[in-house]
Amino acid sequence: MHAEASPVVELCGVGVRVDGARLLHGVQLALAAGEHLAVLGPNGSGKTTLLRVLSTYRFPSDGDASVLGVRFGAADLRPLRASVGFVSTALDDLLHVRADALPLVAAARRGSLWPAPGILDDPQVRATAQRALERVGAGHLAGRRVDTLSQGERQRVRIARALVAEPALLLLDEPFAGLDLGGRESLLRDLDALLDEPGGPTTVLVTHHLEELPRGIRRALLLREGTVVAQGPVGEVLRNGPVSACFGLPVAVESVGGRFTARAVTAT
Ligand SMILES: Nc1ncnc2c1ncn2[C@@H]1O[C@H](COP(=O)(O)OP(=O)(O)OP(=O)(O)O)[C@@H](O)[C@H]1O
């Protein structure tokens, strides 16, 4: 078990190389319990690779990594995985599943995709799964078949499946991909509430878009070509200079009421 004071995430000089390609290089990161981080960067900058390291499924080629107090290479990482929720449409197992949301969420509590017959007979399992749906504003979807849900609704079911195991670390890879403006804003509100929960999971959210940061995320890390361009409090990192350097074009960043917007600046 990890000590209470251990950082949730600690990366020291972490690099990932695959077949001679350098996907990440020299990443330093420390996250304490309750600190939420946004990882931003252009396509191919290494965001998903970083999440895979944090999920413990990608072992770094260089440097030291610890998640929830367990150091990579020093202990079996598999038991740790139950405490890390990883939500990604790339791992999409929910697109064609002909089952209702509630048993699917309950199944995730046992680490499986397909709900075993009678899984909801246990009132505690049922209540836990219902609560996980409610935490992401999806309690009303409990009896809906997942393959009939909209993108935004299905995304909530994915997040509920991650939450039902009570993870200490929640990794969200582009949670707003495919959502329209209303869907994005609605999911943002639900994530805001989740991030504000006392004792809720430390969350790392990957996105390309500054507009997609819940207010509860107070730290940001900018990646470009596998290297950290800047990291720190959102108010310091999400500024014209660092964001322009990260995306490789002049960008004007604005912040209104804790939300950010970015637009490319064209020469007139
Ligand atoms: N197994 C692999 N072998 C070689 N290169 C890889 C492998 N996996 C990823 N890459 C490359 O590593 C780079 C970083 O990929 P990654 O998916 O982490 O980027 P990303 O920032 O999440 O991109 P996107 O925003 O497009 O999803 C990309 O150039 C990608 O092509």
Residue 199: predicted pLDDT = 87
d(CA 217, ligand 1 centre) in Å: 24
Residue 3: predicted pLDDT = 42
pLDDT tens-digit series, residues 89-101: 776 666 667 889 9
**27 pLDDT more than 80:** yes
Q: Which atom of ligand 1 is nearest to the CA of 45?
A: 21
Per-chain mean pLDDT for the chain: 91
| Pocket mutation for ligand 1, best pick of 45, 50, 51, 207 (most atoms within 8 Å of C-beta) | 45
| Pocket mutation for ligand 1, best pick of 39, 47, 59, 176 (most atoms within 8 Å of C-beta) | 47
Q: Is the CB of 242 under 6 A from ligand 1?
A: no
Q: Is the CB of 47 under 6 A from ligand 1?
A: yes
The pair of structure tokens assigned to 169 is: 């670390």
- Whether this model's ipTM surpasses 0.90 comes out as yes
Residue 2: predicted pLDDT = 42
Residue 224: predicted pLDDT = 97
d(CA 18, ligand 1 centre) in Å: 10
Q: Which residues of 4-26 are buried (b: 16+ CB within 10 A; e: fewer)?
A: eebbbbbbeebbbeeeeebbbbe
**1 pLDDT more than 50:** no
Q: Residues with Cβ < 8 Å from 249, sequence gap 6 or more?
A: 264
Cα dihedral 233→137→85→61 (10° resolution): -40
pLDDT tens-digit series, residues 47-98: 999 999 999 989 999 999 999 999 998 888 888 888 999 998 776 666 667 8
d(CA 141, ligand 1 centre) in Å: 34
**256 pLDDT more than 50:** yes
Q: Is the CB of 43 under 6 A from ligand 1?
A: yes
Residue 221: predicted pLDDT = 98
Burial class (CB in 10 A: 0-12, 13-18, 19+), 168: buried
Which pLDDT band, with edges at 50, 70 and 90, does 267 fall under?
Answer: low
Does residue 116 or residue 228 have the better pLDDT? 228
Residue 94: predicted pLDDT = 63
pLDDT tens-digit series, residues 114-170: 888 898 999 999 999 999 999 999 999 999 999 899 888 999 999 999 999 999 999
CA-proximal residue: ligand 1, atom 27 (nearest): 43
Which pLDDT band, with edges at 50, 70 and 90, does 268 fall under?
Answer: low
Residue keyed to tokens 């950010």: 260
Of all residues in the chain, what percent carry a pLDDT higher than 90?
Answer: 72
Residue 114: predicted pLDDT = 82
CA-proximal residue: ligand 1, atom 1 (nearest): 18
Residue 255: predicted pLDDT = 92
**249 pLDDT more than 60:** yes
